Homo-oligomer: A and B are copies of this chain.
Amino acid sequence: MAQVLYDFTAEPGNNELTVKEGETVTITNQNIGGGWIEAQNSRGEVGLVPEDYIEVRECGDDFSISSLSHPASNGNDPWSVWNTDPSGGSNNNWASNPEGTQTGKNAPDPWGSHGHPQAYQGPAEDDEWDDDWDDMKSTGGYVESESGDSGAMQRGGAHATSMKISLNKFPGFSKSGPELYLLCKQFAKGKDKLPIYTGEVGPVWSYPESQLDCIVHFHTNTVNHRYKHFDWLYERLLDKFGSAIPIPSLPDKQVTGRFEEEFIKMRMERLQGWMTRMCRHPVVSSSEVFQLFLTYKDEKDWKMGKRKAEKDETVGVMIFSTIEPEAPDLDLIEVEQKCDQFSRFTKAMDDGVKEILTVGHEHWKRCTGPLPKEYQRIGKAFQNLSTVFTSSGYQGESTLTDALTAAGKTYEDIAQMVAEQPKKDLHFLMETNNEYKGLLGCFPDTIGVHKAAIDKVKEADKLVATSKIAPQDKVTMGKRASTMSYALQAEMNHFHSNRIYDYNRVMQLYLEEQVKFYETIAAKLRQAHSQFTTM
């Protein structure tokens, strides 16, 4: 049994359940992931509801419900159009695209049903589930330029649901908003601090000497409960860092019926991508909870660390209490300018990324659908004419008929090449953009916290006047807003450097494969051409 905290109206066709604040529902499945749980109302209707909308009295050890809370994106937040994005850029639109299911066996449409509960096909059985996961080894001394090759290809992970969570955050202002930090009298002592230095590009996190890398091994023959641990890690990281650092959600648990292998493969790829990105983040990768996840030795070890991590009180906005910029305080105008600039950029990039995903998806469908069929028909037509010519009974026919048959076979080869190419290049371009779409989906929350803090600081005078706070508190609030701004700037600079690296990588890979593709076709056709005689 659980209490509904806020009204939620179901999107039609998404297995969702409309609930009203104060209503009591029965949790029928907590293990759906992506920020959703399955609930049944008093009328016996079952459907999906955002976790944050429901106060779960008791929750299983294996899946902790996030209680991270911070201000909602205000009304005029442009991002709030996402749920009904008409651009076709959202996974929802792909999923609801009938053509998406016409792409044939060797033409999976992997973006067709990801990142949204409508792909959900009933509760995921642990056993069905855990088959896919095995333990995972961590290796130190990772050098980015080395791992980059695989790095750029093994990204993935975040997707539409992350946006959904953030958008469905409860309206209005929560008691645990930024003022919890801004007005906190006393920070907990002895926490490991997060310094921010001033680098060439401005404020930067302190990066570890050697960056972590982590390869996730999958053995479908061993059964364990590792995915729950990933889920737990995600919730903890979101809880602890979400106000300052976008934490992309994990790849979806559920798999649609068709192309199951492809989706499992892609989910593994995306989980690897998620881990790689977490390892690349200086703050996340060096955090105690992440280290525990990578290094615990046995069940006892794990249980202990788990309990400790869940007791951690430096969560939500309080993360900022551990941040120590080395630079002088910024005035509020500058803080606000930075915040707006990041908000504009992330929104614009989100649009750009979605455009590429939409166009790329269209291209994927054409390359795996009608185009190869057409080349095949061209090839068949040449070969059929060749067969007719062979029957002419005219002598000196064979040179032409052999050449014509070869040309026909060449176009059949080309048909197959065309159908298989997207897996070799477009796939990685799509995955990288898909991951960035997920990452960008986290920014509205992160930026929202800062916007709310700025608003609070603006209210400070009024609060002093009405003696809700002491004059000294106002100064403190300004300082802390400045600290939050440094954190945001450090995170943006981290994001930019990763983005430049990732897009250079993936574009190089894409164009490299495209060049190979067209050169191979040209070579095959030159070979076919050489068989016709010049008379």
Complex Cα spacing A145 to B500, Å:
58
Those of A480-512 within 8 Å (CB) of chain B = 492-493, 496-497, 499-501, 503-504, 507-508, 511-512
Known: A356-B385, A363-B374, A366-B370. A534 touches B515 (CB 8 A): no
Residue A148, interface by CB 8 Å: yes
Residue-wise, chain A 144-174 has the 8 Å CB interface mask toward B (1 for contact) of: 0100100000000000000000000000000
Q: Does A75 belong to the interface (CB within 8 Å)?
A: no
- Residue in chain B with minimal CB distance to A528: B511
A341 to B388, CA, bound (A): 12
* Residue in chain B with minimal CB distance to A200: B395
Known: A388-B345, A515-B529, A525-B518. A378 touches B363 (CB 8 A): yes
Of the A-B pairs whose beta carbons lie under 8 Å apart in the complex, a sample of 12, sorted by A's number, is A145-B535, A341-B393, A359-B381, A362-B374, A389-B499, A394-B492, A404-B503, A404-B507, A507-B532, A511-B525, A518-B521, A522-B522
- Those of A384-405 within 8 Å (CB) of chain B: 384-385, 387-389, 391-397, 399-400, 403-404
Please tell me if the beta carbons of A359 and B378 are within 8 angstroms of each other in the complex. Answer: yes
A404 CB contacts on chain B under 8 angstroms:
503, 507
- State whether A532 touches B515 (Cβ < 8 A): no
| Contact segment of A64-72, A265-273, A346-354 | A346-354
Does A479 reach chain B (CB closer than 8 Å)?
Answer: no
Tell yes or no: A377 within 8 A of B by CB.
yes
How far is it, in angstroms, between the C-alpha of A514 and the C-alpha of B532 when the chains are bound?
Answer: 15
Are the C-beta atoms of A385 and B352 separated by less than 8 Å?
yes
Closest beta carbon of chain B to A191's beta carbon, Å: 30
B535/A388 in contact, CB under 8 A = no
A387 to B508, CA, bound (A): 19
Contacts of A210 on B, CB cut-off 8 Å?
none
Asked if A519 lies at the interface with its beta carbon under 8 angstroms from chain B, I say: yes
User: Which residues on the B side are within 8 Å of A504 (C-beta)?
Assistant: 399-400, 403, 532-535
Give A182-211 as 1s and 0s: 1 = Cβ < 8 Å from B's Cβ atoms: 000000000000000000110000000000
Count copies of this chain in the complex. 2
A382 located at the interface, meaning its Cβ lies under 8 Å from any Cβ of chain B in the complex: yes
Q: Which residues of B contact A374 (CB under 8 A)?
A: 359, 362-363, 366
Indicate whether A526 reaches chain B with its CB closer than 8 angstroms. yes
Complex: how many Å from CA A21 to CA B397?
47
Q: Lowest 4 A-B CB distances belong to which pairs?
A: A511-B529, A518-B522, A394-B496, A352-B385
Q: How far is the CB of A361 from chain B (nearest CB, A)?
A: 11
Q: How far is the CB of A451 from chain B (nearest CB, A)?
A: 19
Q: Does A449 lie at the interface of the complex (its beta carbon under 8 Å from any beta carbon of B)?
A: no
| A244 within 8 A of partner (CB) | no
**At the interface, yes or no: A329 with Cβ under 8 Å from chain B?**
no
Could you say which residues of chain B place their CB within 8 Å of the CB of A492?
A: 394
State the CA gap A404–B508 with chains docked (Å). 10
Partner of A529, one of B500, B512, B529: B512
Residues of B within 8 A of A352 (CB): 381, 384-385, 387-388
Q: In whole angstroms, what is the CA distance A128 to B389 when docked?
A: 42
Which of A407, A492, A501, A507 lies at the interface centre, i.e. has the most chain B CB atoms within 10 A of its CB? Answer: A507
Judge whether A473 is part of the interface by a CB distance below 8 angstroms. no
**Mask: chain A, 234-277; 1 = CB below 8 Å from B; 0 = not:** 00000000000000000000000000000000000000000000
Structural contact, B370 and A496, CB atoms closer than 8 A: no
> Closest Cβ of chain B: how far from A382's Cβ, in Å?
7
Instruction: A396-B500, A515-B525 given; name 5 further pairs at CB < 8 Å.
Output: A345-B393, A356-B385, A389-B503, A504-B532, A507-B532
A355 at the interface (CB under 8 A from B): yes
A400 touching B515 by the CB < 8 A rule? Answer: no
Q: Is the CB of B400 within 8 A of A503?
A: yes
Q: How far is the CA of A389 from the CA of B350 in the complex (A)?
A: 11
Task: Report A236 CB to chain B, min CB distance, Å.
Answer: 30
CA distance A366 to B400 in the complex (A): 28
- CB <8 Å contact, A522 and B529: no
Q: Which residues of B contact A388 (CB under 8 A)?
A: 345, 348-349, 351-352
Contacting residues, chain B, for A533 (C-beta < 8 A): 504
CB distance from A515 to the nearest CB of B (A): 5
**Within 8 Å CB of A518, what residues of B?**
518-519, 521-522, 525
Asked whether B201 lies within 8 Å of A395 as measured between CB atoms, the reply is: yes
Question: Across the two chains, which residue of chain B brings its CB closest to A514?
Answer: B525
